[in-house]
Chain A
Amino acid sequence: MKKIIVILLIALVPFSSCNKEKSKKEQTINYQCPMQCEGDKTYQELGSCPVCKMDLKPITYDHSHKMESTEISETSIFNLTSKWKTEENETIELRDLKGKTLVMVMIYTSCKAACPRLVADMRNIEKKIPDNVKNQVHYIMISIDPETDTPERLKSFAIENQMNGEQWTFLQGDMNSVREFANVLAVKYKQISPMDFSHSNIISVFNPQGELLHQQEGLGVDNNQTITKIIESTK
Chain B
Amino acid sequence: MSTFSRLIICIVFLSGIDMNCQSEMVEIKGGTYIPLYGRDSMQVTINDFQMDVYPVTNEEFLAFVIKNPRWKKSRVKKIFADENYLHQWKTDTTFGDTQSLKAPITDISWFAANDYCECQGKRLPTIDEWEYAAMSNEKLPDARYLKAYNEYILSWYEKPKTFNNEIGSTFKNYWGVYDLHGLVWEWTYDFNSVLISGESRKDVDNDSNLFCGTAAIGATDLMNYAAFMRYAIRGSVKANYAIKNLGFRCVKDK
Residues of A within 8 A of B (CB): 1-2, 4-5, 8-9, 11-12, 14-18, 20-22, 26, 61, 74-77, 79, 179-180, 182-184, 186-193, 198-201, 217-218
Contacts and interface: CB of A to CB of B under 8 A. Distances in A.
Interface stretch (B113-121, B129-137, B162-170, B172-180): B113-121
A17 B11 contact: no
Q: Interface residues of A: mostly helix, strand, loop or mixed?
A: mixed
A189 B192 contact: yes
A179 B188 CA distance: 12
A187 B11 CA distance: 46
28 contacts: A5-B4, A5-B7, A5-B8, A8-B8, A8-B15, A12-B14, A15-B15, A15-B18, A15-B21, A16-B18, A17-B119, A18-B118, A18-B120, A20-B68, A20-B115, A20-B119, A21-B68, A74-B77, A184-B79, A186-B238, A189-B193, A190-B193, A190-B194, A190-B195, A193-B40, A193-B41, A217-B199, A217-B202
B189 interface: yes
A28 to B, nearest CB: 14
Nearest to A200: B199
B201 A186 contact: yes
Nearest to B39: A192
Contact of B192 (A18, A76, A179): A179
Contacts of A190: 39, 190, 193-195
Contacts of A198: 195
B110 interface: yes
A193 B11 CA distance: 49
Contacts of A26: 69
A218 B192 contact: no
A79 B161 CA distance: 34
Contact of B79 (A11, A76, A200): A76
Interface of B: 2, 4, 7-8, 11-12, 14-15, 18-19, 21-22, 39-41, 67-70, 74, 77-80, 110-111, 114-115, 118-121, 189-190, 192-195, 199, 201-202, 235, 238-240
Contacts of B114: 180
B67 A183 contact: no
Contacts, number: 104
B193 A18 contact: no
Given A183-B239, A218-B199, A21 B192 contact: no
Among B14, B119, B121, B193, max chain A CB count under 10 A is at B193
Contacts of A184: 79, 239
Contacts of A75: 77-79
A1 B11 CA distance: 14
B67 A17 contact: yes
Given A18-B68, A192-B40, A12 B199 contact: no
A20 B111 CA distance: 14
A221 to B, nearest CB: 11
A79 B240 CA distance: 13
Contacts of A16: 18
Given A77-B79, A200-B199, 19 more contacts: A1-B2, A5-B8, A9-B11, A11-B15, A15-B15, A15-B18, A15-B19, A17-B67, A18-B120, A75-B78, A75-B79, A76-B79, A179-B189, A183-B111, A183-B192, A186-B238, A217-B199, A217-B202, A218-B199
B166 to A, nearest CB: 26
A98 to B, nearest CB: 15
Contacts of B189: 179
A79 B80 contact: yes
Contact of A12 (B15, B111, B190, B240): B15
A79 B79 contact: yes
Nearest to A22: B70
Nearest to B11: A8
